[in-house]
Chains A and B, each alone.
Chain A
Amino acid sequence: MAVFVYAENIDGVYKKAAFEAVSYAKSIADQSGETVTAVSLNPTDSSDLLYKYGATNVINVKDVGLKNFSAKAYAKAVNEVAKGNIIVFPHTTDASSIAPMLAIMNGYSLLTNALEAPESLSPFQVKRKAFSGKGFMHAKADAAGVIVTVSQNSFGIKESSVSGTEEIKELSVSSEDIKVISHEQSSGKLDLKEADVVVSAGRGMKGPENWGMIEDLANTLNAATACSKPVSDIGWRPHSEHVGQTGKAISPNLYVAIGISGAIQHLAGVNSSKTIVVINSDPEAPFFKSADYGVVGDAFQIIPQLNEKIKAIKG
């Protein structure tokens, strides 16, 4: 029996979250003495990229009918080939849309937002995110089959090279239930949920015209940009950048919060960041209590200077 994993790609290119999910599947397979079989739909990337993280077998589904994303059609296609008792998904938007449909098709237990390797395999039990970052739940599967989705940037990408084989599977599942009218995706932009570094700013920036220095710092750090809820609510920044309890939850290695006071709802979305730096003019800002490093001062003075200093050490 194999542990299956859904290796998500965008336009054929594997996502970082796919490598994390394969790494996670490999850790399960190592515990149970099985191998990992990765499933991907119309990838153009080499399967070598998946062998590197421990997939012994890669099933590449070729299906022209799956050019556009439809949760239902993708679930059907994955179900054709992922025939195992454990199926791992990354907790991305698309993969987390497929997973519940697949769970119903098979009568499996669905455990989402897993943060660590399973605590036990029989029964399957795992620590998962709950209460939007304000707590953790140790959840146990009651069904024999399990689908688990891995919270992004939590388990981590772990190299574990194996020599693998690739299998091509031709399918003809149609995603006709959904028709794409337009598709806008900026390829150059770092995905907020995948980013290792996130530079985030709040109302302390005083207006959207002042975001240039935030973007400059983000460029220097190869970071994605984010913002607080009020900033997205008043339209200074797009909703897609809102991090917090009702926005996105993120877990980067470094989170830099500028002019954000640190309301409990904001902290919930970012407190699993490994290192948090808070820059705020108010020494009483509650965010300092939840930070690793803090600077009290005027962001308009600090950010350009900090940018230059980081540029200097990055050489």
Chain B
Amino acid sequence: MKILVCISSVPDTTSKINFTADKSAFDKNGIQWVINPLDEFALTKAIKLQESQGATVTVINVGENTTEPVIRKALAIGANDAIRVNADPKDSFSVATEIANVAKTGGYDLVLCGKESIDYNGCAVPGMVAQLLDQPFVNACVGLDVSGAEATAVREIEGGKETISVKLPAVIAGQKGMVDEKDLIIPNMRGIMSARSKPLQIVEPVASKVKVEGVSYDSVPQRAAVKMVSADNLDELVRLLHEEAKVI
């Protein structure tokens, strides 16, 4: 079984997000970059399938050479090899086009990814890749097993779960639950050392068109100062919620 895991390089979850003075772009100064956490769940799932079924795991990232530390981390976690499409990821469509272009000749049984990246929240690349490859698409996956040419996936639905079977090849986008937080792999020294010599192939982009542009960005406005209410005066809290905020 061959698995392609799509990873995005995103600001660490603890990052404060600032924009450039003219508000035209995200200010990357001082940012620590990590594997998009939702992609990391997918990567960890792929490594589990590598351990249990001998799957080969290739990670793909669309990015300039600045993303290589994040790709090396994915290799240290256990991916067999990596592909970097050498392009600045401008929008979901161009990223999906680059991934699909690599995937269509790679003979992958499964394309795994997180359901969205925590930076631009496009929620678009996985579905686009599936459509470009004309493959089934399962989103919001919280459990996955593979047997032969068929996957059994659990997907989160509003108020519950649905277990489905899907014929491979397919594109599956996951979130927490696909693996648990405690299953995430912290690379050990051997992993880190071996990652240095694992193959990282650099592919030039197919120069796909961009369909969405970020024109400007805003920070989240500060809330007005908090009104503190004494624990001995909960009637006052109820009154404020009822009369002032009008939410109960």
Contacts and interface: CB of A to CB of B under 8 A. Distances in A.
Given A100-B127, A247-B176, A310 B238 contact: yes
Contacts of A253: 247
Contacts of A197: 247-248
B182 A136 contact: no
Contacts of B130: 71-72, 101
A131 B13 contact: no
Contact of B176 (A10, A75, A242, A275): A242
A289 B224 CA distance: 9
B234 A302 contact: yes
Contact of A294 (B131, B213, B229, B248): B229
Interface in B188-245: 209-220, 223-224, 226-231, 234-235, 237-238, 240-242, 245
Residue with the greatest number of chain A CB neighbours at <10 A, chosen from B132, B138, B152, B182? B138
A288 B159 contact: no
Interface residues of A, number: 102
B159 A187 contact: yes
Interface string B147-184: 00000100111111111111100100001110011100
Q: What does DSSP make chain B's interface, helix, strand, loop or mixed?
A: mixed
B121 A233 contact: no
B118 A245 contact: yes
Interface in A182-227: 182-187, 189, 191, 193-194, 197, 221
Interface string A84-114: 0000000111101111110111001111110
Contacts of B227: 292-294
Contacts of A174: none
A169 interface: no
Interface residues of B, number: 85
Nearest to A98: B127
Contact of A142 (B131, B157, B213): B213
B119 A177 contact: no
Contact of B235 (A132, A139, A245, A309): A309
Residue with the greatest number of chain A CB neighbours at <10 A, chosen from B119, B176, B234? B234
Interface of A: 10, 15, 68-72, 75, 91-94, 96-101, 103-105, 108-113, 125, 127-143, 149, 177-187, 189, 191, 193-194, 197, 221, 229, 232-233, 239-240, 242, 245-247, 253-254, 263-265, 271, 274-278, 288-298, 301-302, 305-306, 309-310, 313-314
17 contacts: A70-B136, A72-B130, A93-B139, A93-B140, A100-B128, A109-B211, A113-B123, A140-B213, A183-B157, A185-B159, A191-B158, A240-B142, A246-B38, A246-B118, A263-B14, A264-B14, A293-B240
